[in-house]
Amino acid sequence: MSAAFWTRVRRRLTTERHLLGCALVRLGAGLVALSYLVGHWSARELLWGPGAVYPLFLYRRDLSLLRWPSLFAVESDVAFTALYVAAIAVVGLYTIGWQTRWLGLPFYVVVSSLLARNPMLLTGGDALFLAELPFLVFLDTGAYLSVDSGWRRPGERFEPPSRPFAALLHNVALIGIAIQLCMAYEVSGLYKVAGELWRNGTAVYYALRRPEFVLPGVSAAIYRPASVVTLLTYGTVAFEIAYPFLVWKRGTRWLAVLIATLFHGAIAVVMGLVTFAAEMLVFQLVLLDDEQYRRAYGWLVRADERRR
Amino acid sequence: MRVQPAAPATRREAVRLALWWLTAGALATGLAAHFTLVLLHVLPPNPVSAAFRGVTRAWVVPRFAQDWRLFAPTPVVNDCTAYARALYDDADGEHVTEWLDFSTPVVRAVQRNRLSPRNAVLPMLFTAMYDVTNRAGPRDGLLRQRLLEEWSDVARQPPSLVVLEASGSAALAAAHPDRAFRHVQVMIAIQPPLPFAERNAPEDERPQAAYLVLPRVPFQPVAAWGAGR
């Protein structure tokens, strides 16, 4: 390959890219973590405390197997609550974008510690969250919509300072997040293709009938018409298999994000998997570049002006 | 437009450039190695993944542990309901409470409010029930008896059963705040759904539920819903 090719590669990798998407990921990931910590404040003892439904003796018994230590595995109620409050502070500060370069690692430690304390609570969304968080540590997530940036708005232009090594880490982390997303959807699609109920077009019926996923008055209207069930079953498989190909081309990335938003939004409302849906959607936000976000922001501003 | 390669101006810049390319090469190699191991770990069973299982597991678990069999290859089709009862003593001797359904109230709470704090507990309860029923499996007679005897010792129980017993204990303690319980016992009702071809039939035509009654174990104090202990 020519020297010009490598120069182009270096130029791309020494400019921090997708800074608006990274800021949105910070906000989204922070809000998901806060929904765990603040949203479950009243149930914190039951879920992660010394008297949790996943008892300390079980955590200690399986620690050698799971090899996943947790800061929250303490015997004192007072120490647990103090750690819990400290965790809320760390997550809160990271979410508003204060010292994001330094708080990325504590944010990762706090969130993974919380989830490690009760592995029975983990969902597929949490698994994706945990797999993506190490990459988040290396991203520049504070360039927009943060205390660090003086709450720079999406419409404002920003040229990041020249930091070749930091930019390299940032861009490699971006690629890592995208590959992890693609892997999750593609492998899920491969498993579905191998399943009899997915092949015969009825899997969605059985999933929607499970009591934990029923939305009274709505679910039956979806799973009774055979055409809707078949369309949703095959549509799910088609979307998951196609996802990496949609993400590969810049021109179709918005379509991948749009379908994912509709897909997970419907799962959140109809099946009640709200946190799962949020976790699956948050990291999609890095896929769009700053120009695409600026165009969308400009369109929203103009629509708002017309409305007035 | 042709991009001309920029030549480094000084020796210091040349060293920095070389260091940058070394770092880029190392990161690219690391990223490729990481995702190769993760991919081999999460792919459906195949000969290559089987050959490298030890290496992939050592790298992926626990930090990058993931499983993308979301509702696949076959979604769980049975409905499960969790019940618990407790043994207690009073002046008249030993008593047993009625079976208390402790999964349906969580389902109802989440159906009423998709943002309910029970939203986290719901998948936990159902994952635990499916895991316990899978482990108990379709075995009968002596094999089932042996497994239940093993599970009468909490230390030898799978995490899913411990969590169900603890969740049942929390529900029983909330339902009977004035009683001091000695033992707790969990039961899981497993009911197959109506097949797709009979999806419009009334609910009462569903197949009968089967019951998995688990061994009684010492009652464990668990934190209550809604407040610190």
Concatenating the DSSP letter of every residue in A199-226 gives HTT-HHHHHHHSGGG--TTTHHHHHSSH
Residue B185: strand, helix, or coil: strand
**Partner residues linked to B84 by β-bridges:** B100, B186
Give pTM, 2 decimals: 0.93
C-alpha distances out from residue A11 to B4, B119, B194, Å? 11, 46, 60
- Which pLDDT tens digits describe chain A residue by residue (308 residues)? 688 999 999 999 999 999 999 999 999 999 999 999 999 999 999 999 999 999 999 999 988 887 889 999 999 999 999 999 999 999 999 999 999 999 999 999 999 999 999 999 999 999 999 999 999 999 999 999 999 999 999 988 888 888 999 999 999 999 999 999 999 999 999 999 999 999 999 999 999 999 889 999 999 999 999 999 999 999 999 999 999 999 999 999 999 999 999 999 999 999 999 999 999 999 999 999 999 999 999 999 999 999 88
Q: Which of A6, A44, A195 sits opposite B73 (nearest CB)?
A: A195
Region B210-217 average pLDDT: 94
For chain B, where are the alpha helices, taking DSSP H only? 11-42, 47-51, 53-60, 104-112, 118-136, 141-151, 159-175
Question: Do the beta carbons of residue A200 and residue A226 sit within 8 Å?
Answer: no
pLDDT band at B139 (very low <50, low <70, confident <90, very high): low
Q: Is the pLDDT reported for residue B114 higher than 90?
A: no
How big is the CA angle at B166 (ends B161 and A88), to the nearest 5 degrees? Answer: 110
* pLDDT band at residue B225 using 50, 70 and 90 as cut-offs: low
Q: B96 pLDDT band (50/70/90 cuts)?
A: very high
pLDDT of A157 reads: 84
- Look at residue B228 in the predicted model and tell me its pLDDT: 37
Q: Residues of B numbered 15-74 whose beta carbons fall under 8 angstroms of chain A's beta carbons: which are they? A: 16, 20-21, 23-24, 27-28, 31, 34-35, 38-39, 42-44, 61-74
At which residue do the structure tokens 């039956």 appear? A220
pLDDT range class, residue B229, cuts 50, 70, 90: very low
pLDDT the model gives residue A251: 92
Q: Which residue of B has its CA nearest to A116?
A: B62
Report how far residue A82's alpha carbon sits from residue B158's, in angstroms, rounded to the nearest whole number. Answer: 31
Q: What is the Cα–Cα distance from A9 to B20, expressed in whole angstroms?
A: 12
Neighbours of A289 (CB within 10 A): 15
Q: Which amino acid is at A153?
A: R
pLDDT at A94: 98
Question: What are B81's strand-pairing partners?
Answer: B189
Taking an 8 Å cut-off on Cβ atoms, the answer to whether A51 and B199 are in contact is: no
E-strand stretches of A28-92: none
**ipTM of this model?**
0.93
CA distance B15 to B197: 71
Residue B2 DSSP SS3: coil
The arithmetic mean of pLDDT across residues B83-106, rounded, is 94
Collapsing DSSP states into helix, strand and coil, what is residue A234?
A: helix
Say if residue B44's pLDDT is above 60: yes
Interface of B with A in 79-138 (CB under 8 A): 79, 81, 104, 107, 110-111, 114-115, 117, 119-124, 126-128
d(CA A43, CA B139): 37
pLDDT higher at B8 or B24: B24
Which of A47, A61, A120, A129 is the best mutation test for B, with the most CBs of B within 10 A?
Answer: A120
Q: Is the dihedral of CA A122, A123, A128, A132 positive or negative?
A: negative
CB contact under 8 A, A212 and B43: no
Tell me the residue length of chain A.
308
Q: Which among A302, A17, B61, A213 has a CA at the least distance from the CA of A203?
A: A213
Cβ pair A67:B73 closer than 8 A? no
Q: Which residues of A42-65 are buried (b: 16+ CB within 10 A; e: fewer)?
A: ebbbbbbbbbbbbbeebbeebeee
CA angle A230, A284, A123 (to 5 degrees): 65
Q: Which residue does chain A place closest to B33, by CA atoms?
A: A176
- Checking if the pLDDT of B6 tops 70, the result is no
Token output for A244: 């990496």
Q: What are phi and psi of B186, to 5 degrees?
A: -115, 145
What pLDDT, on a 0 to 100 scale, did the predictor assign at position B227?
42
* Rounded CA separation A130/B64 (Å): 7
Question: What confidence category does residue B3 fall into, taking pLDDT thresholds of 50, 70 and 90?
Answer: low
Residues from chain A that touch B158, judged by Cβ atoms under 8 A, are none
Tokens of A285: 């936000």
Residues in contact with A69: Cβ distance below 8 Å, sequence separation at least 6, in sequence order: A63, A113, A116
pLDDT value of position A81: 97
